[in-house]
A and B are shown apart, each in its own frame.
Chain A
Amino acid sequence: SHPSRGPHFTGCRSREQETFRCWWSAGIFQNLTEPGTLRVFYQTKNALSEWQECPDYTHTVKNECYFNKTFTHIWTSYCIQLRSVRENITYDETCFTVENIVHPDPPIGLNWTLLNVSHSGLHFDILVRWAPPPSADVQMGWMSLMYQVQYRVRNASHWEMLDLESGTQQSIYGLHTDKEYEVRVRCKMSAFNNFGEFSDSILVHVAQIPSKESTFPTTLVLIFGVIGLVILLVLLIFSQQQRLMVIFLPPIPAPKIKGIDPELLKNGKLDQLNSLLSSQDMYKPDFYHEDPWVEFIQLDLDDPAEKNESSDTQHLLGLSRSGSSHVLHFKSDDDSGRASCYDPEIPNPEDLAALLPGHSGRGDNHPLVSRSSSSIPDLGVQQTSEVEETPIQTQPAVPSWVNMDFYAQVSDFTPAGGVVLSPGQLNSSPEKKKEEENEKKIPFQLVSDGAYTSENTARQLSADVPPSPGPEQGYQTFPTQAVEGNLWNGEYLVSTSDSQIPYLLPEAPPVPILPPVSGYTVVQEVDAQHSLLLNPPSSQPAICPHSPNKHLPAMPTMPMGYLTPDLLGNLTP
């Protein structure tokens, strides 16, 4: 209480809910400390009684007023006043009900028994027992008490508190051996909040049994065991690495082609590869990249309206674009569709016409001229009449159409290894072309896309055609005498020009009466003179390269019959 206060009550307490006491203090008023100067008056509110003086001023204790059983009424409101009678001043007043000021006495008979000790000998459990305070009538139940046990390590600052217990015993778990503990207990009335005083503390101590050998090795064994396990695991993983890799990271199957060894593909030579691949009926690999003197002419097929820019073909052809209102641009050739069996696509007559050198106004766009035997004359006739009229139209089947320019029939081989092509049987404006043809001959490499000519045909052609003036230069294109319907199969002729224009004109010799030359024949063998021996042309155009070649066991049937100088060299018997 405040030290500078005047006389005041310091508290009222009941121990057993049958009597109660009140205490007061004189405060700083030292002149009031004499007994009798301050008096206590009380009033019980239920009866609206008068203020009565304290029934019993305790003689042994200073400033205490004791209410015995007679004057104690439970469930009754009391108000007490601290008065100085002489001065008739009420210094303090407080009101309460008795059951709310009950603070039970501390329990008695606190003792403990050892429950068990842990295996390690480090911990133990005890059972603490006590008896209710004798002043509390718990047998009848006049006071139903709840107990609270507290313990701490001796002389520590913090008490551990356990839950409220309605019985008279409680277990304490997890105490450390070799430590001294203090245990104490207090109680309160259940459903009320006033705790009584603590009982005296008791000391709990259990000596630690020296069993160090049981604890220490256990830890060590555990640690080493774990380390050993880890090492084992690591060893296992490393030893079985491959298998584990397969299990956890299964290899993705690499692409595989039946019969082809990937190693050979990596390391094999070109001819071996060719033999390999040809046996697989696959599309022929692209040899173009190895032949520097072969180049593609890729033409873009644009709108006829876009004609202002000069096309490549014009450059190639070296022709002025006088009056040419059309620029032929061919779609760049893509690789698609170049299967083994190449479907024949008959182009439009107009397209043909456009490509043919017979076109005066239009024929200057194409680099090569190829003639076919049978069908072209008809077309050519048509074209001459339609030259001025029909615009060049683009065709969806441009690629094949582009190719048809480049197909020609091999008639002869030059000593240098070049290929001489035979012109077709078509005559169309031979005069003009004759001149140009004689002047500009282009080394021409036949890169045949399954181009075959028969042996006989080749010989005939070679016999018929005069030798070209310059072995390196001029090559005449020979009209591919393909059977109608198979006109544009196979041969894909690419011209390389070191001069300006790979413009080949068909020679206009008197048209020899040649036997119908099919567009393709199978090269059978190469004789000592480096001439190709071809199969005789059959009635059916032996276009599909799948026809078996019986005469050339050394060289398997090549579906896409590309011939390169290297290959030619290999063909030499």
Chain B
Amino acid sequence: MGLSVPAVAVLLVVLLCLDPHGRVGSAPICAHGSSGCHVPSLADLFDRVIQHSARMHSLSNDLHSEFEQYFLPSKNHIRKIYRKCHTSNILTPNGKENAQKLAREELTEVILKLLMAWRDPLFQLHQSMAHQQDFNSFSSNKALEMGDMAHELRKGVEKVAEKMRVLGMLGNSVTGLSAAEAMLPLSDSGEAMSDYELLYCFRRDSNKVQNYLKILKCRIVPEHDC
């Protein structure tokens, strides 16, 4: 108990840095052969990425529900449900079999395309929600967190893809990794999409990403009954 405050602070920082669980985010993939570094397996990487995507989708669901609850009290939104998201141009498998039939590289590419397409729109969404008085700060923070998560998830999936390529699981036909470009969230008529539309579309796309990752993992990592 005779430690001074700075010493305690330094100790805490050291402990946090040393504790592998204290860090949030994707773990660095150690170079092959380097010592003293815990090399996560592909399964672990997939698990982390899938967990991350689940969280992201849950956030988007919460935001969407809040928006619906406060701004669209009527249940008639089903009628006007059709919205053309800006990511509708990206061809995505619409079912489990379709996704399973898709090649790993294509599936990985789709995932990365989706995540890339949402980088700027999510930032826009956060900005828009932060400036509106209608949203409380909690929702605005959720939007910000969502954008960060999407960014990190993209980085994680890129790492997974890299690992897969290293392991030889992915062919060299993967070109989408570098070709994924950011897309502007424009609706069918060319105008910028509203917040609700963005939330609706992202909720759908994050669910897609989550399921695609699960399917990919099942195909890449040999597990029981997969």
Interface residues of chain A, those whose CB is within 8 Å of chain B, are 17-18, 45-46, 69, 72-77, 79, 93-97, 99, 137, 139-142, 144, 190-193
A94 to B204, CA, bound (A): 19
Set of chain B residues within 8 Å of A144, measured between Cβ atoms: 54
A96 to B224, CA, bound (A): 34
Q: Are B97 and A69 in contact (CB under 8 A)?
A: yes
Q: Are A191 and B57 in contact (CB under 8 A)?
A: yes
Interface centre among B50, B65, B79, B94 (most CB of A within 10 A): B94
Given the interface pairs A75-B92, A75-B204, A97-B204, the reply to whether A139 lies near B224 with Cβ below 8 Å is yes
Q: Are A191 and B207 in contact (CB under 8 A)?
A: yes
13 other contacts beyond A74-B96, A97-B81, with CB at 8 A cut-off? A69-B97, A72-B95, A75-B92, A77-B82, A97-B204, A139-B225, A139-B226, A140-B226, A141-B215, A142-B96, A142-B211, A191-B58, A191-B61
Check if B88 is an interface residue, CB within 8 A of chain A: yes
Set of chain A residues within 8 Å of B54, measured between Cβ atoms: 144, 190-191
Set of chain B residues within 8 Å of A142, measured between Cβ atoms: 96, 211, 214-215
Other-chain residue from B57, B83, B214 in contact with A140 (beta carbon distance below 8 A): B214
Q: How many inter-chain contacts with C-beta < 8 Å in the A-B complex?
A: 70
Check if B42 is an interface residue, CB within 8 A of chain A: no
Please encode chain B, from 80 to 114, with 1 for each CB lying within 8 Å of some chain A CB and 0 for all others: 01110000100010111100000000000000000
Min Cβ gap A52→B in Å is: 16
Other-chain residue from B61, B79, B208, B218 in contact with A95 (beta carbon distance below 8 A): B79
Q: Are B58 and A190 in contact (CB under 8 A)?
A: yes
B interface: dominant SS:
helix
28 CB-based A-B contacts, threshold 8 Å = A18-B95, A45-B82, A69-B95, A72-B95, A73-B95, A74-B94, A74-B95, A74-B96, A74-B211, A77-B81, A77-B82, A95-B79, A96-B78, A96-B81, A97-B204, A99-B204, A139-B218, A139-B223, A139-B226, A140-B214, A140-B218, A141-B215, A142-B96, A142-B211, A190-B58, A191-B54, A191-B58, A191-B61
Please encode chain B, from 203 to 226, with 1 for each CB lying within 8 Å of some chain A CB and 0 for all others: 010011001001101100001111
Q: Are B94 and A76 in contact (CB under 8 A)?
A: yes
Set of chain B residues within 8 Å of A69, measured between Cβ atoms: 95, 97
Min Cβ gap A13→B in Å is: 14
A486 to B225, CA, bound (A): 130
A142 to B210, CA, bound (A): 9
Min Cβ gap A90→B in Å is: 13
Set of chain B residues within 8 Å of A94, measured between Cβ atoms: 78-79
Min Cβ gap B74→A in Å is: 14
A18 to B211, CA, bound (A): 13
A73 to B94, CA, bound (A): 5
Task: Find the B residue at minimum CB distance from A193.
Answer: B65
Set of chain A residues within 8 Å of B95, measured between Cβ atoms: 18, 69, 72-74
Set of chain A residues within 8 Å of B81, measured between Cβ atoms: 77, 79, 95-97
Task: Find the A residue at minimum CB distance from B77.
Answer: A95
Report the 9 A-B pairs with minimum CB-CB distance, sorted nearest first. A141-B214, A73-B94, A45-B82, A139-B225, A191-B61, A95-B81, A140-B218, A191-B58, A77-B82
A420 to B92, CA, bound (A): 141
Set of chain B residues within 8 Å of A74, measured between Cβ atoms: 94-96, 211
A495 to B83, CA, bound (A): 124
Set of chain A residues within 8 Å of B58, measured between Cβ atoms: 190-191
Set of chain A residues within 8 Å of B225, measured between Cβ atoms: 139-140
Min Cβ gap B69→A in Å is: 11
Set of chain A residues within 8 Å of B215, measured between Cβ atoms: 140-142
Set of chain A residues within 8 Å of B218, measured between Cβ atoms: 139-141
A99 to B78, CA, bound (A): 13
Min Cβ gap A78→B in Å is: 9
Set of chain A residues within 8 Å of B223, measured between Cβ atoms: 139
A80 to B215, CA, bound (A): 30
Min Cβ gap A1→B in Å is: 14
Interface centre among B83, B88, B207, B224 (most CB of A within 10 A): B207
Min Cβ gap A442→B in Å is: 91
Min Cβ gap A229→B in Å is: 39
Set of chain A residues within 8 Å of B83, measured between Cβ atoms: 77
Set of chain A residues within 8 Å of B214, measured between Cβ atoms: 140-142
Other-chain residue from B97, B208, B217, B226 in contact with A75 (beta carbon distance below 8 A): B208
Set of chain A residues within 8 Å of B57, measured between Cβ atoms: 191
Given the interface pairs A77-B81, A142-B214, the reply to whether A18 lies near B226 with Cβ below 8 Å is no
Task: Find the A residue at minimum CB distance from B100.
Answer: A140
Set of chain A residues within 8 Å of B50, measured between Cβ atoms: 141
A99 to B204, CA, bound (A): 9
Among residues 95 to 140 in chain B, which have CB atoms less than 8 Å away from a CB atom of chain A?
95-97
Set of chain B residues within 8 Å of A45, measured between Cβ atoms: 82
Given the interface pairs A144-B54, A190-B54, the reply to whether A95 lies near B226 with Cβ below 8 Å is no
Min Cβ gap A69→B in Å is: 7
Task: Find the A residue at minimum CB distance from B58.
Answer: A191
Min Cβ gap A164→B in Å is: 12
A139 to B222, CA, bound (A): 12
A530 to B145, CA, bound (A): 118
Min Cβ gap A293→B in Å is: 85
A191 to B11, CA, bound (A): 39
Set of chain B residues within 8 Å of A96, measured between Cβ atoms: 78, 81
Task: Find the A residue at minimum CB distance from B225.
Answer: A139
Task: Find the B residue at minimum CB distance from A78.
Answer: B81
Min Cβ gap A92→B in Å is: 11
Set of chain B residues within 8 Å of A191, measured between Cβ atoms: 54, 57-58, 61, 207
A97 to B83, CA, bound (A): 11
Task: Find the B residue at minimum CB distance from A73.
Answer: B94
A69 to B100, CA, bound (A): 13
Task: Find the B residue at minimum CB distance from A79.
Answer: B82
Interface centre among A75, A79, A97 (most CB of B within 10 A): A75
Set of chain A residues within 8 Å of B61, measured between Cβ atoms: 191-192
Set of chain A residues within 8 Å of B217, measured between Cβ atoms: 141
Q: Are A137 and B96 in contact (CB under 8 A)?
A: yes
A313 to B78, CA, bound (A): 117
Set of chain B residues within 8 Å of A141, measured between Cβ atoms: 50, 211, 214-215, 217-218
Task: Find the A residue at minimum CB distance from B59.
Answer: A191
Min Cβ gap B45→A in Å is: 15
A570 to B92, CA, bound (A): 133
